[in-house]
């Protein structure tokens, strides 16, 4: 599903470039060309909405499962109950950081300990990279959408399209990083479940 979102984002970037070109010089384009650009832009937006909702459902189900697994691996790491792995996404403002905090704890709990049984520090870089890209895409998209609604001139519409394209690029990066995050965390949990909590030498 994340791969589908990435493909849709690529299509949205294409639609954005078409809109940018048309908005830059409306007088040089026919009404049919303008209508096609608008239709393409709208289709891209609708596809992004559908793709995001469908992926969110599947992702949150997976997120809850790995959070539940984390309690089996290390009960003292996670500070919030498994229910938070679902609810945190629906808390206004809080959803900008709560899921990230939960993801970090799941990541820590899913890592094997050092060969001598001592706690092993694991880099959270994949978690941070994914979350930073996702939040940035969310905020930039909100800003771009506001610019689109308030655009009253071709130049303003073109600038808004540019900002939305930046959001699409960030969302594409977030989808790619999310794939890495999901694959790595799933692999960590599989390894800990099949080979035990202690890493091999």
Q: What is the DSSP letter of 76?
A: T
Long-range contacts of the stretch 75-82 (C-beta < 8 A, 24+): 77/105, 77/108, 77/109, 78/102, 78/105, 78/106, 78/109, 79/105, 80/105
3-state secondary structure of 120: coil
Q: State residue 51's pLDDT score.
A: 96
| Residue 118: predicted pLDDT | 67
Backbone CA torsion sign across 26, 31, 34, 38: positive
**pLDDT score at 134:** 96
Secondary structure letter of residue 111 according to DSSP: S
- Residue 31: the pLDDT is 82
Q: What is residue 16's predicted lDDT score, i.e. its pLDDT?
A: 93
Residue ranges for the chain with pLDDT beneath 70: 26-27, 117-119, 200-201
At residue 107, the pLDDT reads: 95
Find out whether 31 and 197 touch, Cβ atoms under 8 Å: no
CA-closest candidate to residue 5, choices 124, 175, 168: 175
Q: For residue 1, give the 3-state DSSP assignment.
A: coil
| pLDDT of the residue at 34 | 83
Q: What is the pLDDT of residue 26?
A: 67
Distance CA 91, CA 152 (A): 34
């Amino acid at each position: 599903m994340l791969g589908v979102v990435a493909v849709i984002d690529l299509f949205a970037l294409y639609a954005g470039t078409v809109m940018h070109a048309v908005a830059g010089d409306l007088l040089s384009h026919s009404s049919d060309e303008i209508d096609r650009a608008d239709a393409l832009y709208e289709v891209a937006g609708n596809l992004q909405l559908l793709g995001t909702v469908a992926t969110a459902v599947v992702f949150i189900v997976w997120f809850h499962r790995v959070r539940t697994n984390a309690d089996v691996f290390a009960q003292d790491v996670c500070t919030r109950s498994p229910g938070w792995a679902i609810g945190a996404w629906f808390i206004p403002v809080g959803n900008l950081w709560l899921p990230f905090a939960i993801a970090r704890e799941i990541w820590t709990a899913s890592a094997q300990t050092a060969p001598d049984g001592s706690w092993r520090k694991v880099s959270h870089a994949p978690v941070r990279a994914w979350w930073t890209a996702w939040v940035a895409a969310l905020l930039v998209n909100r800003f771009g959408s506001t610019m689109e609604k308030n655009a009253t001139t071709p130049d303003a519409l073109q600038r808004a399209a540019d900002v939305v394209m930046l959001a699409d690029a960030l969302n594409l990066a977030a989808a790619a990083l999310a794939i890495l995050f999901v694959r790595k965390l799933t692999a960590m949990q599989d390894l800990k479940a099949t080979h035990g909590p202690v890493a091999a030498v």
